[in-house]
Amino acid sequence: MSVDSSGRQAVDFVWGNIPMQPNDDRTDGGASVVVAADAAENYDWSGYSVYPSARLNQALGNHEIVEPGWSGYPAFTAGAGNYIVTAASGNGTTVTYTSQNELSAGDVVNITGLTASAYNLSSATVATANALGFTVTNAANAGLITGQYGKVESTTALTAADGVGIGNLLVPNVLGATTAVALDALKDAGYEAANITTATAATNTRTNVTRFNATSATVAVVYATNAHTNYPTGTKVTLVAGTPAGESPVNLPAYALGTWTVTGSAGAGQITVSGSGFTIADTTGVNATGTLGGANGTIRVQSTAGGATAATTATITITPWATAS
């Protein structure tokens, strides 16, 4: 049980917008205040009362203003967690890493994911650190590398909440994003560049749209063979005019042309798309060939679904659409 400096159970509370109220003797070791009052109002039934006093340093945080030690605070110090390295250099005795961090000299870190493998160190002890970088004593010297997305994992963090032992990260949904944007999103989520693979672009053969049913100015159902399996929810598709076929061709209306996001499947051979500027109308009998395809260079498939978790060392594979043909 936590107790205050007088041996009483420490119970601290906050009420509304009143500052924190520590259950403790708020003394600073010597200051006191003498209050004169008559016996009826005096808590110790004498002519005077002596109250312990404390000078509050408003430059400090709330936890530091109250007497040190109440309920274990402010003795608690948050541990260091995981950080991103954006550059590194070595001179044969010291490796310097550019990284916004909260590390301190003496912390032990694992550094991974850098293109110069010599700078990927295990159980390295931080020699110096500031908010923008840190150094370790090591003979590695692979020159200056920049534009990195390496990871620093502190092995001396206090708890899992501080970053120690974090084995999994949330995978962002990158379907429909361009390859460059998808890579940035995965790196920002904490996955190292070395663990992100871009697969060969998926074959992108345009198919024939037979119907375009705009149910609102922003929603339409597109009908095409195998559309519900070829174009997963979240991906992007492009509709073009195509080449008229037959004696009485019916092309797609102009407002249907463009790149739209697939929001779901309306049934076999159907996809729902979101867009803008649609005219509410049901265009049937479309027989223009080569009208529907995936949006060039956008992500069709990701190996781990967005919203799922994967190990920080897991390989995440993204597959973009090839140029439609």
How far apart are the C-alpha atoms of 254 and 191, rounded to whole Å?
42
Question: C-alpha 124: how far from its chain's center?
Answer: 26
- Written out in words, the top-level CATH class of the domain with range 209-295 is mainly beta
Task: Give which of 131, 74, 126, 73 is closest to 101, Cα–Cα.
Answer: 131
Q: Per-residue confidence of the chain (325 residues) as pLDDT tens digits?
A: 445 555 555 554 445 555 555 444 444 444 444 555 554 555 555 555 554 444 444 444 444 444 433 333 333 333 445 788 999 999 999 999 999 888 889 888 889 889 999 999 988 999 999 989 999 999 999 999 998 888 888 776 544 344 444 456 778 899 999 999 998 888 877 777 778 899 999 999 999 888 899 999 999 999 998 999 999 999 999 998 876 655 455 678 889 999 999 999 878 899 999 999 999 999 887 776 788 999 999 999 999 998 887 777 788 999 999 998 8
State which fold the 82-162 domain adopts.
Elongation Factor Tu (Ef-tu); domain 3 (2.40.30)
pLDDT tens string 158-214: 443 444 444 567 788 999 999 999 988 888 777 777 788 999 999 999 998 888 999
**Global pTM value:** 0.53
What are phi and psi for residue 189, nearest 5 degrees? -75, -10
SS3 label, residue 19:
coil
For CATH 2.40.30.20, list the domain ranges present in the chain. 209-295
**Cβ atoms of residues 87 and 149 within 8 Å:** no
DSSP secondary structure string for all residues of 174-241 = -TTSBHHHHHHHHHHTT--GGGEEEPPPBP---B-EEEEEESSSSEEEEEETTHHHHS-TT-EEEE--
Question: C-alpha 3: how far from its chain's center?
Answer: 40
